[in-house]
Amino acid sequence: MKKVDRTDQDDLSERDDRIFLSTRVISAVVVPFLVLAFLILYLTPEQSGERFAWEIKPSMTAAFMGAGYLGGSWLFISTVFGRRWHRVAAGFLPVTTFTIFMLLATIVHWDRFDIGHIPFLLWLGLYVITPLLVPFLWWRNRVTDPGTPEPGDQLAPALARWSLRLLGAALLLFAVIGFIFPDRLISIWPWTLSPLTARVMSGWFGLLGVGGLVIGRETRWSGWRVGLQSIGLWHLLVVVAAVIYRADLPDGLLNWYLISVVLVLVGMVALYLAMEIGHIGQPKPGTAGSSSAAPKSEA
C-alpha cells in the first residue's frame, strides 16, 4: 500500500501541530493581494484612487495601511512555509477582527466607493469572504495543536504576557471608540483623517488589540515569534513612512503616536533579543529545572 504523506492531507486524528494543506493553500492565495496592496499604498499612494478601492489621502494614511498589509503578509507566508501550526495560530483571530472592521467600514461609508471600480470589487469580495474564511481556518486547524512546547522552546515571561494583555485590551477599547465615534479619533490623530479612514484605522487598532489579548495568553515563546515579527515589520515601515511623508504631519515627527510606536518597537526588540540570545525567564523545556509539558496558554 502506498504510504500517504500526512502533511498533505487534512487529517483531524492527531495533535501533531501540523498545518493543514487547505490552510496553506488559502494563505498562499491571500499573500499576493496583501503584497500588491503594500506596493500600491506604500510606494505609490498618490495613485490609490486609480489602483486601490478608493482614493486615500493623505499619503501617510495610505502608507500606514500598506505597511500593515505587508506585515500581515508575513503571517500568511509563515503559514504557507511553516511546519508547526501553533507558531502562526495567534494571528488568525486578530486578522478576523480586522476583516470585520473593514467590512463594517465599507458598509457604513458605501457612498464613498465607486461600486463599478474593479479594485473596489476586489476589496469588497475580500472582506465579504475573509470574516468567515479566516476564523474557519483557525477553528479547523486548532485541533492539531498539542498544547505543549516544541523541543528547545522557552516560556514567555509572565510580565511580558500580562503587559501584552493589558495593552491589547486598551487598544481594542481604543479601536471600538474610534470606530463608533470617528470624530474623537480625528481630533487627536497626528495627521488628517476622514470619517472613513478613521474607521479603517480603528480596524488596524482592533487587530493589534485582539492580537495582544491572544498572544498574551500564549506561554510558548515559539508562538510569539511570527506575531512580533509581523507587528515589528509593520511599525518599522510606519516610522520610515513618517520620515518620507513628514509633510503630512503638521506637528512634525515628535508626536504622541510616533513616539509611542518607537517605544513599543524598542521594547519588542529588547524582548526578542533577550529571548533569542539572553534566554531570560524560565528554562527551556526538556532541560534541567524545566517541564516539557508546560501549558500552551493561561486561562
Question: Which of 12-21, 41-50, 77-86, 128-137 comes out lowest in average pLDDT?
Answer: 12-21
| Closest CA relative to residue 227, chosen from 83, 23, 74 | 74
Spatial distance between the Cα atoms of 124 and 216, rounded to a whole number of angstroms: 32
Contact 171, 212 (CB under 8 A): yes
Domain presence at residue 95: yes
Dump pLDDT digits (tens) for 99-141.
999 999 999 999 999 998 999 999 999 999 999 999 999 999 9
DSSP state of 292: T
Mean predicted confidence (pLDDT) in 239-265? 95
Q: What percent of the chain has a predicted confidence (pLDDT) above 70?
A: 88
Question: Which of 183-187, 251-255, 278-282 comes out lowest in average pLDDT?
Answer: 278-282
How many helices (H) and strands (E) are present in the chain, helices listed first?
10, 0
Spatial distance between the Cα atoms of 91 and 86, rounded to a whole number of angstroms: 10
Domain presence at residue 3: no
Query: What does the pLDDT read at residue 13?
Result: 56
Where in the sequence is the domain holding 98, given as residue range(s)?
A: 16-278
End-to-end CA distance of the chain: 44
Domain presence at residue 5: no
CA angle 282, 274, 280 (to 5 degrees): 15
User: Which distant-in-sequence residues (6+ apart) come within 8 Å of 153 by Cβ?
Assistant: 220, 221, 222, 284, 285
Domain presence at residue 212: yes
Domain presence at residue 130: yes
Burial 53-83 (b: 16+ CB within 10 A, else e): bbebbbbbbbbbbbbbbbbbbbbbbbbbebe
The reported pTM is 0.89
Structural domains counted in the chain: 1
Spatial distance between the Cα atoms of 135 and 95, rounded to a whole number of angstroms: 9
Domain presence at residue 274: yes
Q: Which residue has the cell 508562538?
A: 223
Confidence grade of residue 8 (pLDDT, cut at 50, 70, 90): low
Query: What does the pLDDT read at residue 280?
Result: 54
